[in-house]
Structures are given as C-alpha cells and as structure tokens.
Amino acid sequence: MVRSALAAALVLAACAGPIGCGEEAVVGKDPAGSADAAEQARIESSRKKIDEASLATDEKRYADANKLLKEAEALNIESHRFEIQEAREKLDKREAKLWSNEVSEQLDGKQCAEAFASLSKEFEARKSEIFKAEVKKLVHTQAVACTSGKLDELATAGKFGEARSFLGSPSTKVVLGEAAWKKLSAETEGTATEAMAGQLAEDLQAKRWAAAADKVDAAVKRGDVTEAAGQNLMGRVRAAAAPELTAKAAQAVGSRSAAADLKDVDALIARLGWEVQASDLAGIAKDKAMPEDLGKKRAALATYVETQRLKLKPLKKAEKRWMHGLVPLAPAGSAEGASRRDLKQGTAVWVLGQTKDVALITEADPGGAAFNAALDLAAGWVPVRTLAKEDTAEWLPPNDQLKGLQVWGPLREKQAFLELGTVTEVKGEEVTVTRLADDVAVKTTRDKLRKGQLVKGMKVLTLCDQENQPATIFEHIQGMRVARVQCDSGLQKEQPLSSLRSRPDLLPASK
C-alpha cells in the first residue's frame, strides 16, 4: 500500500514539471541532415525520370520520353549528366529513324522540295546535331537520287532557272550536305551551259554575233545560267567573232566603205562587251580587252578613216623627223582627240603623211611598207610645226616652253664667257634670265642662249689651278646646285653650278 502511494506521488511530481504530463520532449532538428535528404530526393527523382524516359523510348512514346528527359535535365544532377546525354542521343536516333521513314515516300515520289522543307523545319525546331546528322545519313541516298531525278526532268524541259532555284534553296543544301550539293550544282551548271551553247550554235555558224550575245544575256536574266556561266558563253561568242571582225577591219582599210565598216565593227565590239582602247594604254579590265590582233586592225581602220576625213596626203615613203619641244600626241583615230601622252624633245619619229597643220607619225621605222600597211604602226597626230629635220636633243625648246629652263647665256656685260641661269620671262626673241650666282635678272636674246643641261663628259670652265680653266663634268645629279668636275690635271672637285663657265664653241649648237 505504501509502495503504491509512493509511486503515485512520483507520477504527480513529474506531471508538475516544466514539460507537463502527456507531452513528449521536443528534439532539435539537424539542418545538415535535412539538406542531405532533399538532395537524395532530387537524385532519386532524376533517376526515376531517366528510367521512365528509357522505357518510353523503347515503347516509342517519344514525346513522353522527351518530356521526362527535360525534367531530368532540369534537376541538374551532375552524376546523371552523361547518362541523360546518352538517353537523349538514343531518343534522337530513334526519332530520326521515324522521320526518315516518314519522308521516304515523298523522296521516292520525287517530292524532294516538300521533303527537304519538312526536314529542314524539324532540324531548326530541335536544334539537335545528333538528330540532324542521323536523319541526313539515313535519307542521303534517297535524297541524292530524288534531287538528281528532279534536276534531270527540269533540264530535259529546259527549265534551268527552276533547277537552279531548287538547288539554291537552303533546305536542299542542308539536307544534301555540302559535298553532294556542290557536286550536283556543278553538274547542273555544266549541263545548263552546254545546253545554252547548243542553242547558240546556229547563230555562230551563221555569224549572227549580236543575236548570240542577246541569247546569252537573256539566259542570265532568266536565271537559266549563272553570271559566271554567262561570261563563259559570251567568251565562246567572242572567240568565234574575233577572227571575223579582225578580217573585216583589215579588209576595210583603203576601201570606200571604210567609215561604214568601222561603224559596224565598233557596234559589234561594244555588243560583245569589249572596250575600244589605245594600243599604248594599259589597265583595262581583262574581260573588257579586245584580242590584240583585233585591237590593232580596228585601230588601223579608225586611223585610215581619220586620214580620209582630214584629206591627208600620204608620203610615198615615211620620212624621219625629230620632235621639237614637249609635244602632246593625239590618238591616231582622232586628230582632235584628247592627248594620252607626250613625246619628249628629241624623240625620233617617222611621218606617214600630213595635212597643212597635222602629221600622222609612227615611233617605229616602217621601212618600205606601203601607206595602208604602215597604219598598223601609227602612233598618233602631232602639229607639223613641232617636227624638225635635225636631231633636236640639244636644242632649246620652243619659246612657250622656255620659262623655268636652265640655260647657258652671256649674263654679264663685257664678259665673253657664258654662265648658268634660269629663264624667268620670254617676250618674243627677248628672254629674261636670272643668274644662279646672285639672282640678278638679265635680258638677252634667244639666239645667244644654249641648253643648260649638264651631262657627264661635257666641257666647262672652272677654277682648277686658275680661274676659267678647262674641266669636264664628271657627275651631276639633276636638281642639285653642285657638280663634280675633273680638271685636265686629273683633280676632281665639287663646284657650285654658279661658278661654272662655258663658251659657245664648247656647247652644242641650238636653234
């Protein structure tokens, strides 16, 4: 009895404590343990989704498999990354097989464009290189066969523009792959080019050059051939036309119909895309340049027509002359045309014929060639007044070209020696020369002046042992105000140009 009462008292005491009777003591939670549990749950969830996705793939529930794999990827379990990738590749290859089967009927039915468009759209939507590569591998043989058949049909119908448009579609290129696409494109372009060449054959045989060129341009415009193929075809037209045009130009020289023939030749040259250019000019685009023979004969014909317009009097034999002054050379085909280059003073030329004012010249000796034959060498037209019967290399240039020239002249009173100066003014025969020595301007006349060019071996007077002793120019650089001279004793020294002197008998005569 006492023992029971004691037990009851102990129970009551326990119930009166801070916890209270009937309540369990609260144990504090472990944060690390909770995190581990959550991570384990994610891993198990990822594992489950991967397994379910694999099953769905095997059961051909591809949409479900794709959804499950995306969910597994979102859980981002690093240890599952490779497994998910393998599952994704397996799914992509299974779906690639499905898609290849779906387009197989279209490809066999030559519905290439539709099949390619469908596949290309799916490639873009999936953005999976595995799927894309697998589909292309599975359909490659059919795709190439379908494309070849389609291209053959279009080629037979002459629809090369449509064929090129089909090949140019991005979907065609992506499904075929770079290598197959390039091969089929090259074959198509070759077929189109040769087919077009066949269409030109009759025109070329009949020498209808302009008509052939029109057909080439039309084919390019329609898209039947590329720009490159068009250039190839135009090259064939040119190759056929060039010998005929060359012969026509050559035969027209000397004929009464020369002007009309030149007009016809030039019209065809322009139609075939060539440019008329002077034989002495470079830089014209290669695809615009005429064949050399055609260019020469066309130039000779144009020159002959110009001689007839000007009523030129041909010489029985070409006569040698020398240019006096720097002379602009007008084109052989147009005496009033803009000069393209100048002839330097002293240049040797041969006159083929002339009018009152202008002469037709060549820079190469035509020998005994007849006038018409010599026209192949014609360089252009120059004023008759610029031609001299003697070598003019040491002459003073014409008055209008004297200013700024270095000359020898009697530039000091009561002194017989000549010295160097620069021409600053010309009024008729009166010439003002500024001395190099002191910049003093001196008036004299043209007939007392000599050309002031200093060349090696030229005799001058300078200070050797004494003033104004004979010496020879050893070296002078154009533009420098000193020259190296060699005295008769053999001594070499540099002398200012202002200290050099000369005499008329030491210098070449001038006019």
- For 352, residues 6+ apart whose C-beta sits below 8 A from its C-beta are 314, 315, 318, 359, 360, 361, 362, 366, 371, 374, 375, 378
* Structure tokens belonging to residue 225: 């051939």
- For 154, residues 6+ apart whose C-beta sits below 8 A from its C-beta are 160, 162, 163, 166
DSSP one-letter code for 330: B
Per-residue pLDDT tens digits of the chain, which is 511 residues long: 333 443 444 334 444 444 444 444 444 455 556 778 888 887 777 787 777 777 777 777 777 777 787 777 787 778 788 877 777 777 778 877 878 888 888 888 889 899 999 888 988 887 888 888 888 888 899 889 988 888 888 888 878 888 888 988 999 998 888 999 999 988 888 888 888 888 899 999 999 999 999 999 999 998 888 888 899 999 999 999 999 999 999 999 999 999 999 999 999 999 999 987 654 445 577 778 899 999 999 999 999 999 999 999 999 999 999 999 999 999 999 999 999 999 999 999 999 999 999 999 999 999 999 999 999 999 999 999 999 999 999 999 999 999 999 999 999 998 889 999 999 999 999 999 999 999 999 999 999 999 998 999 999 999 998 999 999 999 998 888 999 999 999 999 999 999 999 999 999 888 7
CA distance 32 to 40: 12
For residue 299, which amino acid is it? Answer: A
- Residues paired with 381 in a beta bridge: 330, 360
- Confidence (pTM): 0.69
For residue 286, which amino acid is it? Answer: K
Task: Give the three-state DSSP class for 202.
Answer: helix
CA distance 491 to 408: 24
Alpha-carbon separation of residue 123 from 75, 132, 174, 265, 402 (angstroms): 26, 6, 9, 58, 81
Token pair 């301007």 is found at 441
223: left (phi over 0), alpha (psi -120 to 50) or beta: left
CA distance 125 to 510: 91
Total count of residues recorded for the chain: 511
Token pair 């066969």 is found at 145
Contact 393, 348 (CB under 8 A): no
Domain boundaries, the chain: 44-90, 99-237, 311-388, 399-502
